[in-house]
């Protein structure tokens, strides 16, 4: 693990206010680069963990057409919902290891002691997790064209809905994961807490694709999903950071 304590070591010597301000600014800049590099390396090393949700997504969308039959009209009607449900389940499955390892191996304690920005660390961790989970799932959603007989236009809209809506889903799942961090069997409670909050996102996203499929304008719904995701990205890391700090203190 990259040593995150190095940039925050301050010598016990007298210094003026300008030197202290410059040192604090340098710490913040170095901390960002080290946090990003560390989280990227950790994600690459744990390939098995983030591959499981992707395999689950592929299994669901592959077996679903076999279960409901090969009627094109039925597959087209259920295809968008099936892909979105698979994306949601794969996302919820992957949030269990977002913060628990950092608490167990002392990374969270090092961040707190080093006065690093916890909201920044949370944001970096979630962005990298999104790239390796929902970002890849959005690309894999194009498999709905051969599996569910969707048109390429519907498949592109489906991918756009996943890109715009999945950040909000991830933030809600991360909040649920942080709330259950100190519990013994908290991983079981994460879906129970997150799924009720995520259902409206699922309904709006599938509705947007259906509107485009029927020739109507679904852009306002996609814009609403994007706005919700942006607000979640701006606000939720602060809430999660506060919850993680309370879990560490306890």
- For 89-103, how does the pLDDT look when each residue is reduced to its tens digit (9 = 90+)? 888 887 877 888 888
Q: Is residue 160 part of a domain?
A: yes
Highest mean pLDDT among 47-56, 66-75, 146-155: 146-155
Q: Is residue 221 part of a domain?
A: yes
CA distance 159 to 103: 34
Confidence of residue 204 (pLDDT cuts 50, 70, 90): very high
CA distance 50 to 146: 25
The percent of residues above 70 in pLDDT, for the chain, comes to 85
Q: Is residue 111 part of a domain?
A: yes
pLDDT for residue 6: 39
Whether residue 23 has pLDDT greater than 50: no
Dihedral sign from CA coordinates of 125, 128, 130, 134: negative
Q: Is residue 7 part of a domain?
A: no
Q: Which domain holds residue 79?
A: 18-249
The gap from C-alpha 71 to its chain's centroid, in whole angstroms, comes to: 34
Q: What is the mean pLDDT of the chain?
A: 81
Confidence of residue 230 (pLDDT cuts 50, 70, 90): very high
Whether residue 144 has pLDDT greater than 70: yes
pLDDT for residue 41: 83
Q: DSSP H helical segments within 46-151, as ranges?
A: 47-68, 72-93, 100-104, 107-113, 118-132, 134-140, 144-148
Rg (CA), the chain: 21
Q: Is residue 5 part of a domain?
A: no
DSSP state of 114: T
Number of domains in the chain: 1
Q: Is residue 4 part of a domain?
A: no
Highest mean pLDDT among 65-69, 112-116, 146-150: 146-150
């Amino acid at each position: 693990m990259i040593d995150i304590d190095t940039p925050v070591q301050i010598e016990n010597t007298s210094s003026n206010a300008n030197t202290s301000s410059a040192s604090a600014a340098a710490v913040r800049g170095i901390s960002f680069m080290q946090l990003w590099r560390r989280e990227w390396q950790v994600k690459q090393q744990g390939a098995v963990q983030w591959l499981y949700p992707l395999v689950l997504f592929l299994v669901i969308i592959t077996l679903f057409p076999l279960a409901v039959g090969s009627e094109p009209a039925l597959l087209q009607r259920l295809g968008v919902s099936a892909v979105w449900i698979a994306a949601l389940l794969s996302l919820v499955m992957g949030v269990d290891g977002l913060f628990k390892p950092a608490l167990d191996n002392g990374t969270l304690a090092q961040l707190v002691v080093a006065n690093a920005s916890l909201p920044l660390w949370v944001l970096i961790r979630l962005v990298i997790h999104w790239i390796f989970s929902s970002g890849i799932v959005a690309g894999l959603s194009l498999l709905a064209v051969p599996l569910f007989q969707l048109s390429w236009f519907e498949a592109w809209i489906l991918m756009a809905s996943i890109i715009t809506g999945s950040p909000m889903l991830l933030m809600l799942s991360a909040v649920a994961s942080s709330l259950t961090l100190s519990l013994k069997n908290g991983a079981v409670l994460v879906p129970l807490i997150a799924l009720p909050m995520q259902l409206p996102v699922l309904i709006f996203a599938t509705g947007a694709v259906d509107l485009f499929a029927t020739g109507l304008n679904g852009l306002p719904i996609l814009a609403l999903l994007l706005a919700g995701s942006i607000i979640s990205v701006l606000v939720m890391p602060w809430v999660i950071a506060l919850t993680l700090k309370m879990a560490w203190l306890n």
